Amino acid sequence: MTENRVESLRGKLIVSCQALPHEPLHSSFIMGRMALAAREGGAYGIRANTKEDIEEIQSKVDLPIIGIVKRDYEDSEVYITPTIKEVDELMEVRPEIIALDATASLRPKGVSLEDFFHQIREKYPHQLWMADCSTVEEAVYADRLGFDFIGTTMVGYTPQSRNDKIEADDFRILREIIAGVKHRVIAEGNINTPQKARRVIELGAFSVVVGSVITRPQLITKSFAEALGKGSN
């Protein structure tokens, strides 16, 4: 049943409905309505942060969900589903897919990605997992570990990918990842126009996640305001 729901995402749009505590729309109630609006607009899936938001979203839309928990730890740069604590929280609401940082950085308490993945796979053997990667090498490694989905989520957000942009050279990094892995690839990160979303699907991505340009009005407003400001100089 879960695989059938996930397969419905093939070639389709997933909307990331997230608002962190410091953001104006931070509220499970609002994220539930945001997901409802996304569904009405044609989204086939939702990416969401925290079990509370996911539970609210599940009460409003019947769509597959990629679940994460963003949490900072002092001894690690990893903040997307960094420990078993976050995984256990997500399993209380059972999103179809759980995504986690799959970059080269060590997790809290110095845990490697390989050890962590073996731990969660053993504890929850029927759960689907998505690797949020920042480089082609990380994607290939996550694929070998056995992640069900490989994502480009972290491209440009890590020291090893700081100079990279997912859309550069007609999505070169995405194309190399698709060519180098056997599992399904989900394109995510700075895909901020309908044309880019369509292009990544044409290149072979299983599905595409779009976030801020749809669900963060403060950033959308800023782009318009800055354009007008530049025009007045």
pLDDT, average across residues 1-5? 83
Whether 231 has a pLDDT exceeding 70, the answer reads no
pLDDT, average across residues 196-211? 98
- pLDDT per position as a tens digit, 36-71: 999 999 999 999 999 999 999 999 999 999 999 999
pTM of the model: 0.96
Bridge partner list, 107: 111
Residue 102: what pLDDT?
A: 98
Residue 232: what pLDDT?
A: 52
Average pLDDT of the chain, as a whole number: 96
Query: Are the C-beta atoms of 94 and 120 separated by less than 8 Å?
Result: no
Looking at per-residue pLDDT, the higher value among 229 and 61 belongs to 61
pLDDT, average across residues 160-173? 96
**Residue type for position 106:** L
Packing angle between helix 168-180 and helix 136-145, nearest 10 degrees?
20
Bridge partner list, 129: 98
Which overall architecture, per CATH, does domain 2-231 show? Answer: Alpha-Beta Barrel (3.20)
List CB contacts of 37: < 8 A, sequence separation 6 or more: none
